[in-house]
Structures are given as structure tokens and as C-alpha cells.
Structure 1
Amino acid sequence: MQLDDSDGALDSWARFCALSGELVGGAGDLSVGPRLAPVVADLCARGLATLVRDYFLHNLEETFRNNAVRMFWQKFHPYSSSSAVERIKFCVQESWPEDVLSAALEDICLEKSYQEKCVLVLAHALQSYEEKAQNRKLKAVECSSSLMPRYQLMVSSVLLTTLPLSFPEILNVYFKKKLEELNTMVDASDENDQLVSHELFGQSNVSAWDSKMDIDSQEKVISESCTLVKNIGKVVRDFRCLGFTSMTEDSYSSAIIWLLKSKVYELAGDDYRIPVLGSVKKWIQVVPLQFLHALLTYLGDSVDYDSGLSGLKSPLASRPSSFPGIGVPSQALLRWHMRLEYFAYETLQDLRIGKLFEIIVDYPESSPAIEDLKQCLEYTGQHSKLVDSFISSLRYRLLTAGASTNDILHQYVSTIKALRSIDPTGVFLEAVGEPIRDYLRGRKDTIKCIVTMLTDGSGGNTSGGNAGDNLLEELNRDAENQENADYDDHTNIDEKQAWLNSESWEPDPVEADPLKGSRSRRKIDILGLMVSIIGSKDQLVNEYRVMLAEKLLSKSDFDIDSDIRTLELLKDSFR
């Protein structure tokens, strides 16, 4: 047969088209392979290898699009074509969308698996010709190696170009439901025993605690959770094979973030007397990280630190200690841990900032919430968000005509104490306190109320101190404690420690007032801040002199010990 024989080429092409149609559109019959190989070899010898490859792939694409893809999307049509109210009804169904997804994935993956076998048949025929041509030192176009990648690209392209707009929403619902189910299992296990949660994903860590647990119940929970994770993993793996890798990861990532946000809201609530950050971080290790570890292991994505992929280590984290039930985490899991913790810090921070006015009203009972907020801000560095939000709350809820001057002053003192815990440098207190001071300067009774707060036995000091102590005595105690602490720091420090301190020195934040030095900022003087509202301590002293005179003239006895003590404290404060 001559290569330029057009009749022979047409005959071979006709036989190739017929055999291709029989193979691709047949009922799963791969016996066409032996008959296809010589026809493919003849066409390749005529220089038609690329045409053979492209035609075969086009045939597969048309069959895949008209059969598998159409049936796949049709299974989700009831949800896609429904209204928003009807979609809610779908979501509340217990087995939806799991049953629909499982059936649809099974059918399309079965069709894809058969088509991959067809691709391998043609690839084998092309490879056989290429090897013979190489042995005979003939020039041949290499098409066999690119056949399967082109097919995989075709599959994902067809699916993504026909994707309904509602499908990402369906995936989100699926992963949310599965993770809620998993979280329910963990919560139920925590009620029975704290150790079970670390075994929910197949990690064996049996100890003497087992004697205190219901073994049958524990094994049932572990078995159910492992089955659940494997089912999720199978869905993720199938979608990856179809080219939905990014969409699937986005879906279960958003589901994990949503569940984490719900957990933070649940634990935080409106009770500011209990720290919640530690509980949130523990829950992250018990539920999302355990789930991700099991999922990544099932998918084969878990990379150990000592593997050859050590170059992928995160530059933001050092080698961590082992997680409960996991051991040394993989790089993928480590990145997830950092991502989830940051989101938890940010979510809790936003919650506490939004309720900061109420938290400060309850201070110091709410000091655990303040401590949580301090840790969150140290991690996120979003202090400006606190300043802007709290100033807005003050202007709308405190600095109004309906608020008494006493209430404003008491809230200001609580604000100073709370923000001193969050930021000992006082940088953000300067920004927050300025609107309060400006507002109080416009009130006529501000000086009188300040003097009353400083000298009255009840003092308005509802937030701390001993009974009968006025605010001035409390402030003097704080000053003495701070001076003692400063003295201890200076007397106990040695040359080596001084050098270490100098190496760890950091500049003040950009929000700091450059007109005020760092030393004055580190020692927050509450009395000085109160006096700064008035503008001069002379005005405060004059007001105190008038008030003391009226008080002494109204006395019916000679009990002036408390007045003498207050006078001495004022003299010490303004010395």
C-alpha cells in the first residue's frame, strides 16, 4: 500500500470512524482494540496521527456531553429551578443533597471510567506505532502521551461550562450538613468522655480510661465518624477526578469556617465572666483539624515533615509539637491550623469589640473577656478597629444629654482600667479618651462630680476596692503597687537582662502621639487623666476647698478623721 493512496486513506479513515463509534458508543465492549490497532497504525503512517487523536477526543466529548453530563445536571434541576423558599425546604430534608450527589457521582464516574479505558485503548495503539517507528528510525508525531491529559481537560471543561449557578450552593449545603453531623458526634462523645473525641477519626489511643467508659458506645461513635469521613472523602475524590478540585476545596473550607464561626458565637455569647479563647482553640484541634487530618490522609495529601517535600514548609511557623490524636502535623494541616486560629481570633475579637461598651460597664467582672480581646488583638494587630468602633459606641450611647456626668466619669474610669489591661502603653487610651474629655469639658458640673468621686466614701467606686474607700485611695494604692513593681524591676535587673531588653525593644505604634514620650505613656495616671479634663489642678483644689468647708460646717460632731485622710492623700497626689 502506497502512502499517497487516497482510496486507501479514505478506507482506513472510514474503518477508524466505525470502530471508534463502536468503541465509544458501544455497550462497554473493549474487544474493538485489536481491530483498531492496525487501522490506527496505517493512518499514523500516512501522517494523520493528530487527526486520529482529535477526532477520537471529539467523539468522546460529544458522547460525554450528551449522555453523562446531561443526566448529571438533570439530577440537580429540581433544586436549581426552584424558588428561594422551596430551596429551604430542600435543605431541611435529612438525606438531601447527599443521596442526589451520591447517585449522580456514581453514574458520571462510571461513564468516565469507561471512557478512560477507551482512551487507553487508543493510547496503546498509538504507542505501539510510535515504538515501531522509533525502531525503524522513522519520523512520527508523538500523540499517545498527551491523550489522557487532553481527555481529563476535556471532561472538566465540559462540566464547568455547563455548570448551573446553584451548584456551588448545593456543595456548600452538603459539607455544612456533614460537618454539623460530625460536630454533633463530638459533642455527644464529650458528654461521655473527653478522650473519645481524639479517637473519633480512627486514631487508636486506648488507655486506662476505657474502664470508665461504655466501650460499645465508644466503638459505635468511632465507627460512625470514620464512615462519615470516608464518605465525605469519596465525594471529594470523585469531584477532584471530574476537575472540581478548587470548587470542592472552597466548599468544604467555607463549611469549616462557617462551623467555626458558629462555635465562637455559641461559646462567647453575652457572658463576659468566662474566658472562651482557650475553649475555641481546643475545639479547633478536636473537630476541624481531626476532620482535615482524616480527610487529607484519605485523599493522600498528608505530607510529613521528614518527607522529601520539606521545601514546602510554611515560612510562618516553626516545627510544631504533636496535636492530640494526630502526632506531628503535615504541612497542609499546619497551614489549616494557622488559618483556623487566625479566623477564630478575628471572629472573637470582632464579637468582643462590638460588645466592648457592655464589657467595660461590667469591668472588672468582665476581665476574662478583656483578656481574650487582648490576646486576639496581639494576634491580629487590628487595634484601630477597636478604637474606631468604641469611639462610635461612646458617642451614641454615653456622650449624650441623657447621660449624667457621674455615669460618664465612672465609665471613663472603667475604660481607663480596661484599656490599660489591653494596651499598657496607653496609646489607644489616648485616642479613645479624647472624645470623652472634650465632652466633659462642656458640662458645668464636671469639676464638682470629679471632686465628689475622688473624696466621697462611696466614691461611685462600684467596680472594685474595699468598702468605704474613695477613688482617691484606690488610685493611690495602684500608684504604690506600680512604683513597687517598677522598683523591683530596676533593682533586680542585671546587665545581661538589660541587654536582652534593649534587643527586644520595639517602637511605639504608629497611632502614638509623638508629643508624648514612651515613658509617660507606659505609666497611666488615672488621677492625672481626670485632672486633664479640668485643665488645671488648681481648679480641682479650689472646688475641693469649697466642698470641704461646706462639709465641715454641716457636721454636728468632731469626727473628721476621714476628711483628714482624704486631704493628706490629695496633698500626696499633687505634690
Structure 2
Amino acid sequence: MADALNQSWTVITDVLSPKKQPLFDTARESTDIQRRVELDEALAVLDRCGILHLVPAWFQQALQDDIRRRVVHDFWKFFDNSHLSGSESEAKVALTRQFTLSVDYLHKVSRTYQVCVKVIKDVQHSLSLKSLADGDGFGSRGHGSVAGRARDRLGDRLVLLLKSFLFSTFPKNFRKAVEVFYSQAFILFRREEVEPPPPGQSNEEIMERFSKVNLQLHDMGLLEHVAGAAITSAVTDHIYNYIHKTCRGDFETPYLQHFEMYLDSKVLEWLRLIYRHSDEKAQCIDSFRGRLMHFICENYADVLIDQLFSIIIEYPDSEPALKDLRQCLEKIDLRSTLVTSLRSAIEGRLLHPGVNTTDILTAYISAIRALRALDPAGVILELVCEPVRKYLRSRDDTVRCIVSSLTDNENSELFDELLKGAPQPVDDRADSDDESESWETWQPDPVDANPDTASKRRKEQDIISTLVNVYGSQELFVSEYCTLLADRLLSPSSSNIATAAAPTGAGGELERELRYLELLKLRFGEAPLHSCQVMLKDVADSRRINSRIMEIKQQNGETSEMDLSSIILSAQFWPTFREEKITLPTALQSCLDAYTQQYEMLKGNRTLVWKPHLGSMNIELELKDQTLNFSVSPVQAALIMQFQEQKQWTVEDLGQALEMAPSAVRRKLAFWQGQGLLKEEQTDVFVLVEERRSGPQEVIAAADDDERESAMASAAQQREQEMQMFWTYITGMLQNLDNLSLDRIHSMLRMFAVQGPDSGEFTQQQLKVFLDRKVREQKLIFAGGVYKLPKN
């Protein structure tokens, strides 16, 4: 009996050994049938001896030892580094071949195991049946019920052993081989990139091998474990590259829907091809679609955010890109990334001295429009453009550029906004939301919104209101418009009316200014712009007075070498003028006096105070060989007229004759010297040149750059004059209170000195600059954080 038992055990261990070939092989069918008969007889012997249950335990241990000692070694030999020499394409071919051969080898080993596993399952099944026949029910603890459960887990244990011993870690070459294999297959499936197949392979062979490998891995239960990461990597890498290749630099085409169609038609179909043998995985693909769509939105948004500055500059042509970005931001949280990136781009490319204020304003206006389209709540605009507002406040010409854009160019975006009228008044105090807003349409502000800014105000401000709020109030804009209007009305280039308080333009220009004024009234109200209304009325009244005086002179038969027209200004309604001291020659002054007398005759108790340095004169110079015509300022005319009395003048003598500073005289003489009419024979000695050997017979020369400057005082000059008005108050306070801090002086001036709209407004920093200058002039002492007057 012992011999029969030993012989049976030998047959069992020999036939069921995992190292052997499958029991059923068509090439040797008769031998396999004979071996199966021998196996069944041997199993029957063990069953009669009551030790059949030892066979499954022996098999599991033998299976484990075989995988650990033989299969692991043979499998990883396929990924020997010696095969990876040559070019990159050759290396890819080698890696693909290694992976294909290794999977084929493992599949053959698995088939061998599966045949043996089937026999062991039959043994376990018979043990279960015998246990039931002996009354050992399903709920018993006998070895029959244990064998039943082990039979059910044996197939899973085979997969677990392969994962544990073979794929506990992935060597670098193996991981690379899997990635190359699935990446090439995905490229071929997409058929969007024309790529030649690797050397020695055809596209059909690659796809056939791809299907075979997937089926083999699925049969072994290893598809997801071996290839899951590579499949995901191939998909995400190709989606990333496809997004960057497709949409970068193109802002006029909406791509989000296109990417969604690409996901469904290419990516998901490829995944279904891989997992078509697995019903469970095929169902998971639909849930995986949401993750991939999130990945698409995230990467597409990153591309758009990286180019957002250019998208803003090209708005509204770039509106499709902004709509896509808005949809992406609704699905993924990239608002903080967007704000940080765009602020950095704006500060680096826009906010530096090399960019004109006009260009900064143009970009800012585009940003307002574009970011409103991106985020109607206005929160992104508020966060991103805060550096722009701060930088614009630091530039002296910001307000003038804004006002110029509003009123100078009828094709500008700001003028179009002005034509729309004011949807709401610009009210800085309106910092609460409208409680009447419907609760059904109410939307909460984003979490990154500034709680100090009212939601309704942030949403409804138009472009002009936003620009006005750069400075926090509309008074500065109105004041700048008054100065700009005065400058245009008094600009010599806009008229042919000479001298005095300056010329006016043609009737069409005046009508245009009236139109601008009416539009501004609709937005800012009539009261702040009352001075502008008076200024335009002064221009119209001046025309009538000029015409009336001309008629009187003609009626009286009066003739004059000089025809004079003027603009008569209501001084208290006009901005401060640029001052320049000069005493005109007798001929010019007598002409002004005659005009004054005629004006007094018309107006009774009114008289004129002339601004002789403003305006323009058309003069004719008769030389020995030619006659020249010039359009110059009265100062330029006065200088050249002095050379009628004598041919040579020194700078000092001219300054005394005209009561001008020598430096100003020399600066003005440079114009006539440049025209070839004056020659500097010695230092500061100029001689009239009456014969010009070259040049045209008639020259019309515009005023030089110095003469084309604004007739109005600069903002700094006006501020200095306003601050100087407060000096009397400051000295009085210090005499009474001995010493005061900057904050105390500022608050007291605002309380007692700043009264009424024309009293001027100033910041504490501006006051500090003024007081520090007085300290340098030794008119004040600053010590211990307080100011006081010096002791005599």
C-alpha cells in the first residue's frame, strides 16, 4: 500500500508541477490523455487513503516557489539594458519588443498555471461534495467547507502571487517600455499626427500587437495593474500636448467644445478599445470621463491664463477665448492663480517708465472690458488692476490723458462710452447694495471679493466711472477738463486771432466743445461744469465784441498798422494762467490801449487786464532781398521789433528794455537765430541779418516748442500757488500755538482754510513737501516731530 501511495504522489507532483507543459496540447493529444488517466488514478489512491486534501496545499506552495525562483528571473531577463543601444527610435522599438515578448512569455506561463489550477479546483470540488455527503453542511467547520472556499480563491491567489513576486516594483526600463508601447498605440489610433512607423514595423503590426497584449493582460487579470498608470499617462500627456499645440496664440476660436468632442471621439474610444473585454472597466470609463474633462479644463485654463495679458490687449477679438476661460473657471478653482499671474504680467510689461501713460490707459480700458466679460461680478478686475490704479495715481499726466481721450478723439473708446451717457451717477458714497434687488436673481460675491466694496457698485460701474475712481472723486477730473478746455480755446494753433488773452478757434470747433460739454454734464452734472459753460460763453461773446469794435473803427474811418482781436475772459471762472513778465514795445502797447478804450466805451464800467505773453501774432518782416511772414507769440514779436530801433542788442539790454529775465530773453532769441535772422557775433551779443542768401522767398514759421506750451499753469504750479495761499494761515497758527505736528496743521487747514469749491484741496503728503521746503528755506524749524517758527 505504501508503494502505491508513493507512486501516486510522484505522478501527481510530476503532472501538476507548474514547470511542466499544459496537460492538453494538440501536438501530443494521445500523451496528454494518458497522463490525465494516470493523474486521475493517482488522485483516487490518495482519496482512498484520506489524504487528498494535501494536494491543494502542496500545489499552492509549489506555485509560489516556481513564481519566485523561475518566473521572476526569466521575465526580467527580457529587459536587459544591453538591448537599448542606438537612436531614440531604435530604443523605442527595442522597448516595445521587450514588453511584447515578456507579456507573451508570462501569458504562456499563466496558461500552464491555469490548467493545473483547474485540476486542483476539481479536487477541491470533490472534497466539498464528500463533505456534504458526510453531513458536514455549509455552516460546518469541516475541511470540506474550507476546501470550497479555497477553491473559489485559488484563481485570485494566482493573480495575487504574480503581483506580489513579479510586479511589486516596476524597474525603470519596464515602466518606460509600457509607456512607449501605449503611447505609440494611442498616436496611431488618433491618426492626427503623421508619424512614420518605427523601423522594421508597420502600423498594422503595431495595432495588432496592441490588441493581443491587451487581451493577454486581461486574461491574466493584470491589465490594470501593469498598464493602468501607463494608459493614464499616455492619455494625459497627449491631451496636454494637443491643447498646447492647438490653441496657443489663437484667441478668436472657441476650443472648449472642440476639446470635449476630442475627448469623446478619440480618448474615450481608445480606452474602450483597451478594456473591451472587461465589462466592469468599460463601465468605469464613463466616470473617468469627468476626471479627464477636469484635466482638459485645468490645462486649457493654464494656457489661457499664461496668455491672458495678450488676450486682454486683443479684446474684443479675443472674446471667444475669454468665454472658454470663464467656463473653465466655473469648473476648477484657478482664480488665485489667474490673479497672481495677470498682476505679474501687467506689472512687468506695463507699469514702468518706458510705457506712455496713454498706452497704459488703453491697456487698462481693455482690461476693464475684458475682465468684466470674464467675471461680471468685477472681483477679478478689482484685484488685478489695483497696481494699475496705484501706478496711474503716481503719474502727473494721467488725468490729462484720460480727459484728452474723452474729448479729443471722437474715435476713441472713451468717447464712445461718453456717448452712452451715464447709466448711474458717479457717487463715491454709494457703498451699500440695493436692497430692492430681487432675491431670486441675487448671487453672492466670490470668496476673494473685498467686503468693503459694495457688490452692486462693483458690477455696475462703467469704464469712465472706473477711471474716475482711480483718484476717488470726480472733482479732479472736472478741474483737469476745465484746464484742458481752456488750453484748447487759447491754443495759437487752433485760430488766427492775435494777442491778448489768446485766440479762439473756428465756429465748428466751438460747437464741438459745446457738444463735449453737454455730454459731460449728463455724467457729472451741471454745477461742477459751470465754469466751462462760462468759458465757452466768453469765447462767443469775444467774437461779438471783436466784430462790434471792428465795425466802429470802420464807421469812424480809423486805420491801424495792426488789426487786433482778443478773447475777453471772466478771470474768476478760468483756470490759472501761465505767468511770464514782459513790457511790450510802445507800438504794441498803444494798440492794446486803443482796444481797451473801445471796450470801455462799449461796456461802461468794465476794463481789461491784458496777458501780453499769450496769444499769437501774424507779422511781416521786410528784409533787403525778401519779405517773410511769421506766426509767433507777442513775446517773439516784441523781441524782433526791438531790432527796428538798432541792429545790435545784448541780451542784458533787451532784458532791460522789455523787463524780462536775461535767461528768458536768450531762450526766446534762439528761435530767430534758428530762422537765420539773428546772428550771435559775440557772447550774448546779437545782430540782425538783413540779407539771407538761401531759403525760400516767403517763410511761414510756427512758434517753437517753447511757445507751443500750454497757456495754463501746470498742475505743479497751480498746487504751489494754492499751497502758498495757506502759508499765512500756517504762520498765524504757529505764532499762536508755538508748535504743531503735521497732522494737526493739516486738520486745522482743512477746517478753517479750505472752504468752498475754489479753495483747493491737498493731501497730508503734499503739505509735508511744502513745509519741508520752508524748512530748507529756513522759514520753519522741524524738531521732535513738530514744526515751529524760527526765533528772530
TM-score, length of structure 2 as denominator length: 0.55
- SS where residue 166 of structure 1 aligns? helix
Alpha-carbon shift at residue 349 of structure 1 (Å) = 0.7
Q: Write the mapping of 1:103-502 to structure 2, written as runs, cut at 5 A.
A: 103-137=101-135, 139-141=142-144, 142-143=146-147, 144-161=151-168, 163-184=170-191, 231-240=209-218, 241=220, 243-301=222-280, 331-457=283-409, 468-478=410-420, 502=439
Give the counterpart letter for 1:254 in structure 2: S
Paired AA for residue 469 in structure 1: N
Aligned to 2:572: none
SS at match of 1:75: helix
**Counterpart code for 1:127:** H
Find the aligned partners of 2:127 and 2:414 in 1 and give their Cα distance.
98
Contact 2:301-2:325 at 8 Å conserved across structures: yes
Offset from partner CA, 1:293-331 (integer Å, 9 cap, x none): 33333444476xxxxxxxxxxxxxxxxxxxxxxxxxxx5
CA distance in 2, matches of 1:375, 1:15: 73
Larger Rg: 2
Q: CA deviation at 1:113?
A: 0.3
Q: CA deviation at 1:397?
A: 2.0
Q: What is the one-letter code of the residue matched to 1:570?
A: L
Q: 1:296 to 1:242 in 2, by over 3 A?
A: closer
Aligned CA distance change for structure 1 residues 543 and 47 (closer, same or farther; 3 Å)? farther
Q: Tell me, yes or no, if structure 1 residue 567 matches structure 2 residue 565.
A: no
Cα displacement (A) at 1:561: 2.6
Q: How far did 1:355 drift?
A: 0.8
Distance 1:140 1:58, change over 3 A: closer
* Distance in 1 of aligned mates of 2:50 and 2:237: 57
Deviations 1:225-266, CA, capped at 9 Å, x for gaps: 998766534323423425352341221122111111111111
Quickly say closer, same or farther: Cα 1:394–1:406, change in 2 above 3 A.
same
Q: Say whether the 8 Å CA contact 1:41–1:129 is kept in structure 2.
A: no
1:297 aligned counterpart, secondary structure: coil
Larger mean Cα displacement after TM superposition, 535-544 or 243-252? 243-252
Of residues 456, 462, 470, the one that matches 1:525 is: 462
Find the residue that maps to 1:290 and give its secondary structure: helix
1:76 and 2:79 aligned: yes
Question: What do the CA deviations read for 1:524-547 (whole angstroms, capped 9, x no partner)?
Answer: 321111111223211111111112
- Alignment correspondent of 2:12: 19
Residue deviations 1:58-82 (CA, integer Å, cap 9, x gap)? 2223333444332222112227x96
- Residues 125-146 of structure 1 show CA distances to partners (whole Å, capped at 9, x for unaligned) of 2322332343234643433333
* Counterpart-to-counterpart distance in 2, 1:344 and 1:26: 50
Query: Does the CA contact (< 8 Å) of 1:41 and 1:125 recur in 2?
Result: no
Matching residue's letter, 1:260: I
Pairwise CA RMSD: 3.2
Secondary structure of residue in 1 paired with 2:276: helix
In structure 2, distance between residues paired with 1:370 and 1:174: 38
Instruction: Indicate conservation of the 8 Å contact 2:8/2:45, yes or no.
Output: no
CA distance in 2, matches of 1:396, 1:478: 34
| Aligned residue type for 2:214 | V
More divergent stretch after superposition (31-40 vs 391-400): 31-40
Give secondary structure in 2 for the equivalent of 1:435: helix
Residue 93 of structure 1 and its aligned partner are, at CA, apart by 5.3
Q: Is the 8 A contact 2:322 2:374 kept in 1?
A: yes
Q: Contact between 2:343 and 2:384, CA under 8 Å: does it hold in 1?
A: yes
- Answer whether contact 1:275 1:372 (CA < 8 A) is retained: yes
Opposite residue 452 of structure 1, the aligned amino acid is: S
Deviations 1:396-426 (A, max 9, x none): 2222232222222111111001001111111
Question: What do residues 15-54 of structure 1 show as CA deviations (whole Å, max 9, x unaligned)?
Answer: 5256314432334445544444565566678776665333
Determine if contact 2:96/2:181 at 8 Å carries over to the other structure.
Answer: yes
Pairing 1:87-98 to 2, within 5 Å after superposition: 89-91=87-89, 95-98=93-96
Distance 1:175 1:46, change over 3 A: same
Relative distance call for 1:93 and 1:478 in structure 2 (3 A) is: farther
Q: Which residue of 1 aligns with 2:65?
A: 62
Distance 1:523 1:47 in 2: 91
Q: In structure 2, how many angstroms separate the alpha carbons of the residues matched to 1:525 and 1:502?
A: 24
With over 3 angstroms needed to count, the CA separation of the structure-2 counterparts of 1:479 and 1:104, relative to structure 1, is farther
Whether contact under 8 Å (1:420, 1:524) holds in the other structure is: no
Residues 546/45 of structure 1: CA separation in 2 closer, same or farther (3 Å cut):
farther
Contact 1:426/1:522, CA 8 A, preserved across alignment: yes
Aligned partners of 1:302 and 1:332 also within 8 Å: yes
Contact 1:156 1:244 (8 Å CA) reproduced: no
Indicate how the Cα distance of structure 1 residues 302 and 544 shifts in structure 2: closer, same or farther if over 3 A, else same: same
CA contact (8 A) 1:363 1:414 kept: yes
Residue 260 of structure 1 aligns to a residue in which SS? Answer: helix
Secondary structure of the residue aligned to 1:533 is coil
Normalising to structure 1: TM-score of the pair? 0.74
Change (3 A) 1:511 1:162: closer
Q: Is the 8 A contact 2:92 2:180 kept in 1?
A: no
What one-letter code is carried by the residue in structure 2 that aligns with 1:236?
Answer: N
Q: Distance in 1 between matches of 2:478 and 2:466?
A: 15
SS of 2:254's equivalent in the other structure is coil
Q: C-alpha distance in 2, partners of 1:262/1:44?
A: 64
Query: Gaps (5+ residues) in structure 2?
Result: 24-31, 137-141, 195-201, 425-435, 496-504, 526-792
In structure 2, C-alpha distance between the alignment counterparts of 1:562 and 1:525, rounded to whole Å: 24
Q: Greater CA deviation, 26-35 or 244-253?
A: 26-35
CA–CA distance in structure 2, aligned partners of residues 92 and 359 of structure 1: 43
**Cα 1:446–1:166 shift into 2, 3 Å:** same
Which residue among 545, 555, 562 is the counterpart of 2:482?
A: 545
Amino acid at match of 2:418: N
User: Structure 1 pair 478/294, CA: closer, same or farther in 2 (3 Å)?
Assistant: farther
Q: 2:472 aligns with which of 535, 538, 550?
A: 535
Secondary structure class of the residue paired with 1:161: coil
Cα deviation for residue 164 of structure 1 reads: 1.9
Percent sequence identity over aligned pairs: 28
Whichever structure has more helix as a proportion of its residues is 1
Q: Which stretch of the first structure deviates more once superposed, 45-54 or 151-160?
A: 45-54
Say which SS state the counterpart of residue 560 (structure 1) adopts: helix
